[in-house]
Structure 1
Amino acid sequence: MYSNRSQQQRRNDSINLGPVSPTESQVQEIQNKYIPLMTKAIQEQQDPKWQECKIQGKNLTPRSNCAITIHSNFLYLYGGYQYSQGILQDFYKLNMTAESFKWQNIKCEFEPGPRCCHSLSAYKNNLYLFGGQIADSICTNEIFVHDVNHQIWKKLEINDSYPQPLDNYCSTVYNDQLILFGGFYSADICKHSNDLYSYSFTLNHWIKLNKSKGRQPTPRDGSSIAIHNSNLYMFGGKNGDLRYNDLWSFDLSIQEWNLIHINNLYNIPMTRSGHSLIVYQNQLILFGGIHDITWELDDLYTFQINQQEWKLINQDTSRKKELELPSPTKSNQSPQKKRKSVQLPQIIRPLSLRKSPCSSPKKVRPSSQSQYSNHSKNQNLPQNQNQNQKNNNSSINNSFNYVQERKQQEKLKQKAAMLKLFEVEINKRASFQDDCNVTEKLKTSIILIGNPKQDLKLTKGTLTEFGQQIISKFLLPLQNGQNTINGKKPCARDGHSVVVLDNHMILFGGDRHTMAFNDLYLLNLLLI
């Protein structure tokens, strides 16, 4: 039968199977809902003092306990340790004033070989590499000199003034001398050190500075030193499992140690080793290190030399989640022996500890007893009591079914939210297509692993809601410079290497839980 409706009416009644774009009111509603949360998360993640350097081309192998130094605006790096590859022996340089950062591998006919926990120092047109670990539990006291202009390594002759083979010490350059403290002696001695040495670059001669037997730091390794005027400052370190947070000064003019008494005891940094300490103007700057097993730090402190007190700049955030209140756990103790619950203020109670407006139903084991046993017991009860028991059982069963329904609904909601991750508009599907099915699976895995709880996705200024309201830090935009990412700060680590260039501290590498890094950061010292 022929319809009298017009073609326009039939077209309006047709079903549109394509994706429906949200209306302007819906987009505005979503933006008003998420923009405040997103702005707050961006402010928490960004730190204007820090910048991450963008590396062009192939980056270095991740490593810790390498050595870096600055010569004519070039950053030089040698060796280090990587868990899967062991001790490394590669040699690189990076132009810090170039428009783009790119590592350049320096190849020489003769090289020092594998090194970690060593030092690399620049003096005039030479780089001096001393000591360090060359194999498992084996270290050396050799010195190699690299001519920057001719790119040649040569080994200096060891004389009687040289210290014993040493690694994991701390060092700095003072005038025409290399100053080093502490470390671990291997070979026949096999003990920690608290010796303080100075090495003359021109004379190839070592002098032990702490000859007096007065009060001095305990033997340790993994500490850090810095020199201000004619005073050397030393902080932290470890001896076995014992770590320190004491601060000492050594007067190079009278060659005497002094323990610094801190004026403000509330801001003293935690005990640590593998940290970094530098001098800028009239203050010491301390970053990172390891406080305990699997507890690396990302805090930042300054020590005001004139006021003799520590100042906290950035709090440690490596265990931020552990500071939150834990949810209550099940206990098998009897009610008589059960501990009294701590009454917390309503403001700081997590959702798991807040009182629910309605009491939760008691858990009942369904089919725990046979129908026959229930029937035999109910026969001996009075009629009214039997009827009350049936009503109670029916109410409990209804409550139990209600709980099961709610759980099922929650699962369906979670499943629906996960399925939304795979919804792509028709006009954008071509960008995701690939000839290889394995590539498609890898793309999906990377998205899910890199951002497992998507709740916010920014595409051409449109915010789309996924799942629960949890801001994902992987999707937060940062202000990118030409060769740096502004506002991005390093994560917790120890065994990193630092050096000062103009008004910036350069930080490279380190590790956390045996996972090494190859990232490069700049700390603007003017903003501290």
Structure 2
Amino acid sequence: MFSNRSHTYRKNDSLKLQPVSPSESHPLESEYKYLPLITRVSQEQLDPKWQECKIDGKNLLPRSSSAITILNNHLYLYGGYQYAIGIMKDFYKLNLSAPTYSWQKIKCEYEPGPRCRHSICSYQEDIYIFGGQIADSISTNEIFIHDVKQQQWKKLKVNKTYPQPLDNHCATLYEDQWIIFGGFYNGDQCKHSNDLFSYKFRENKWLKLNKQKGMEPAPRDGSSMTSHNKSVYIFGGKNGDLRYNDLWQFNMLSQEWIFIAINKLKNIPMSRSGHSLISYQNNLIVFGGIHDVTWELDDLHCFNLDLKEWRTINSDSSRRQEQELLSPTKTNRNPPKKRKPKRLPILLRPLSLRKSPCPSPKKLHSFSQSQHSSYSTNNQNNYASSDLSQCQSNLNNQNNVTVQTSLNNVQERKRWEEFKKKTAMLKLFEVENREIMNFQDDCNVAEKLKTSIILIGNPKQDLKLKKGILTEFGQQIISKFLQPLTGGQNTINGKKPCARDGHAVAVFNDFMILFGGDRHTMSFNDLYLLNLNQF
């Protein structure tokens, strides 16, 4: 954890907080600088449109790329993927009208098996599952039907009208048809798709809709789809590293694609994939997704079909700290002067920098005869050789002494630096004798450990002010562990989901239900409700 404390704040780290009663804690709140920070952070976390569902009993394993649908006030979930486990095959339901939310596992003798990046829907009294990934780089085009009353799965017979094995496509219900778009063809084709298919439940037959040549979306997977009136809409998706933020409409009556031109370009959502798209009244609502590698989003956008305009409900806050960093500015100040290198003592200098008591042998040989013409060649050589041997013997003796002395000095310096570090660390834990009584407790637990437990585990501010030393680490923990206001028995009002992609959504009355997803390689198993009436 990196610290941004200023120098003045470090001086105040030793401030001791005296015990106060709960009645006295309220007037003292304004005296501590960290309390306004807590209020601001908790207010930022509150969003009245969102509610987190509290799960009673054992929760599901975290996962992404699962699929959910709603039938008779029950939420059904099948499959998903987790990095540490792989592709899952469990089947659950949750009663949305119950006073408490609890997942119930549905056990059947025959099951579709592991599946992720698939689609699921409910039609009449049955639940349908199509396509998806069943193993590493292996997809399927099978359709399974689940009889809710008898709790049995049945595999439908695949005929020639079925599309090729497909995964990571998007799907929606339109009247008595199941519409799917895009995805990735595995098997022989192994390419992205921009095909639009319609499945008729009663006939068990697929029909390709976009047979006419003309303007149409580019091949993609990871897009999202919804239906409204006599049309279906798709938004975003990706093809390799290329992601889109275009909006398309397919008119079910005229059987043609229409690219929706935007009137105002300033509020268009960023390009993304793995997001969600739903329709409510005359609006299209987009949440989350991934914009780039390791950049998942938590923004919320609304598109008005009458005005043809995007409106940003909540901006992306997943990289708020990076956006708030000040950009470098130009100044008229002169650049700082370079410091002169410090001259080390002779004994601590490298041998190459020490002055030798005799001239260097190389310098003797480098002299030219014209500069020393008064000497003969033989005399010069004899002088150089005799004097050089004497200097070398003196230098060797002195080097042995100086090297030993310098090593001793370096070791002594290291010991002194280690001693200073230990002294500085011990000073952090020093407490005056007259103050020990204020912090003394009958329990044998260390006071530092107890203070940490109070800061982390107790959400009440007045108890956090009773004992211990307030540190920046404590500030961040307090802000992190403050929970929003608790609503009813089964929800937490105001708590919104973090940035993610690969989540599953469904519409129930005036709420959008959101489950799971992942951020980087960390999956989620949380469940949220978005009140669509509060837009």
The normalised TM-score by structure 1 is 0.75
Letter in 2 for 1:97: S
In the alignment, what sits opposite 2:461?
458
Following superposition, the deviation at residue 460 of structure 1 comes to 4.9
2: CA distance between counterparts of 1:39 and 1:181?
A: 46
- Distance 1:210-1:360 versus aligned 2 partners, 3 A rule: closer
- Equivalent residue of 1:110, what SS? coil
In the alignment, what sits opposite 1:21?
19
- Check the 8 A contact 2:18/2:466 in 1, yes or no: no
2: CA distance between counterparts of 1:286 and 1:410?
A: 54
Following superposition, the deviation at residue 41 of structure 1 comes to 2.0
Larger Rg: 2
1:103-161 C-alpha deviation (Å, 9 max, x unpaired):
00000000000000001110011000000000011000000000001100000011111
Match of 1:523 among 510, 521, 530: 530
More helix as a share of residues: 2
Any gaps of 5 or more consecutive residues in structure 2? Answer: 1-16, 350-354, 356-420
Any gaps of 5 or more consecutive residues in structure 1? Answer: 1-18, 329-340, 345-354, 377-406, 434-439
Following superposition, the deviation at residue 207 of structure 1 comes to 0.7
Letter in 1 for 2:86: G
Check if 1:47 corresponds to 2:35. no
1:269-294 C-alpha deviation (Å, 9 max, x unpaired):
11100000000000000000000000
2: CA distance between counterparts of 1:89 and 1:367?
A: 71
2: CA distance between counterparts of 1:31 and 1:456?
A: 18
Match of 1:495 among 495, 499, 502: 502
Following superposition, the deviation at residue 97 of structure 1 comes to 1.0
Following superposition, the deviation at residue 177 of structure 1 comes to 0.9
Match of 2:471 among 463, 467, 470: 467
- Check the 8 A contact 1:222/1:274 in 2, yes or no: yes
In the alignment, what sits opposite 2:415?
none
In the alignment, what sits opposite 1:216?
216
2: CA distance between counterparts of 1:476 and 1:26?
A: 17
2: CA distance between counterparts of 1:258 and 1:516?
A: 36
- Check the 8 A contact 2:19/2:465 in 1, yes or no: no
- Distance 1:445-1:226 versus aligned 2 partners, 3 A rule: farther
Check if 1:133 corresponds to 2:121. no
In the alignment, what sits opposite 1:480?
486
- Distance 1:511-1:98 versus aligned 2 partners, 3 A rule: same
Following superposition, the deviation at residue 369 of structure 1 comes to 3.7
Letter in 1 for 2:497: P
Pairwise mapping of residues 45-194 of structure 1 onto structure 2 (< 5 A)?
A: 45-194=45-194
- Distance 1:408-1:327 versus aligned 2 partners, 3 A rule: farther
Following superposition, the deviation at residue 40 of structure 1 comes to 2.1
In the alignment, what sits opposite 2:247?
247
1: CA distance between counterparts of 2:25 and 2:143?
A: 69
2: CA distance between counterparts of 1:250 and 1:461?
A: 58
Following superposition, the deviation at residue 266 of structure 1 comes to 0.5
- Equivalent residue of 2:47, what SS? coil
- Distance 1:155-1:37 versus aligned 2 partners, 3 A rule: same
- Distance 1:409-1:282 versus aligned 2 partners, 3 A rule: farther
In the alignment, what sits opposite 1:319?
319
- Check the 8 A contact 1:457/1:463 in 2, yes or no: no
In the alignment, what sits opposite 2:391?
none
Pairwise mapping of residues 387-426 of structure 1 onto structure 2 (< 5 A)?
A: 426=441
1:227-260 C-alpha deviation (Å, 9 max, x unpaired):
1101111100000110000111010001100111
Following superposition, the deviation at residue 463 of structure 1 comes to 7.0
Letter in 1 for 2:441: I
Structure ranking higher on relative contact order (CA contacts 8 Å, 6+ apart): 2
Letter in 2 for 1:501: F
2: CA distance between counterparts of 1:489 and 1:362?
A: 51
- Distance 1:292-1:220 versus aligned 2 partners, 3 A rule: same
Following superposition, the deviation at residue 456 of structure 1 comes to 9.3
- Distance 1:360-1:275 versus aligned 2 partners, 3 A rule: same
Following superposition, the deviation at residue 466 of structure 1 comes to 1.2
Letter in 2 for 1:29: L
- Check the 8 A contact 2:459/2:482 in 1, yes or no: no
Following superposition, the deviation at residue 426 of structure 1 comes to 3.3
1: CA distance between counterparts of 2:29 and 2:426?
A: 23
- Distance 1:372-1:266 versus aligned 2 partners, 3 A rule: closer
Following superposition, the deviation at residue 25 of structure 1 comes to 6.9
- Distance 1:316-1:408 versus aligned 2 partners, 3 A rule: farther
In the alignment, what sits opposite 2:381?
none
2: CA distance between counterparts of 1:135 and 1:444?
A: 49
The normalised TM-score by structure 2 is 0.74
Letter in 1 for 2:479: K
1:162-207 C-alpha deviation (Å, 9 max, x unpaired):
1111000000111111100000000101110000011011111111
- Check the 8 A contact 2:458/2:464 in 1, yes or no: no
The CA RMSD measured in Å over matched residues stands at 3.8
1:41-68 C-alpha deviation (Å, 9 max, x unpaired):
2211111111111111111111000010
In the alignment, what sits opposite 1:233?
233
Following superposition, the deviation at residue 324 of structure 1 comes to 2.7
1:414-450 C-alpha deviation (Å, 9 max, x unpaired):
7679xx9xx97737x59x89xxxxxx99x989969x9
Letter in 1 for 2:508: L
- Distance 1:37-1:96 versus aligned 2 partners, 3 A rule: same
- Equivalent residue of 2:461, what SS? strand
1:332-386 C-alpha deviation (Å, 9 max, x unpaired):
xxxxxxxxx5249xxxxxxxxxx9xxx999978767343899xx9xxxxxxxxxx
- Check the 8 A contact 1:302/1:313 in 2, yes or no: yes
In the alignment, what sits opposite 1:370?
346
- Equivalent residue of 1:179, what SS? strand
1:453-479 C-alpha deviation (Å, 9 max, x unpaired):
x99962458577612495543232421
In the alignment, what sits opposite 1:342?
330
Letter in 1 for 2:262: I
- Check the 8 A contact 1:27/1:462 in 2, yes or no: no
- Distance 1:26-1:230 versus aligned 2 partners, 3 A rule: closer
- Equivalent residue of 1:120, what SS? strand
1: CA distance between counterparts of 2:145 and 2:127?
A: 6
- Distance 1:495-1:96 versus aligned 2 partners, 3 A rule: same
- Distance 1:307-1:212 versus aligned 2 partners, 3 A rule: same
- Check the 8 A contact 2:249/2:260 in 1, yes or no: yes
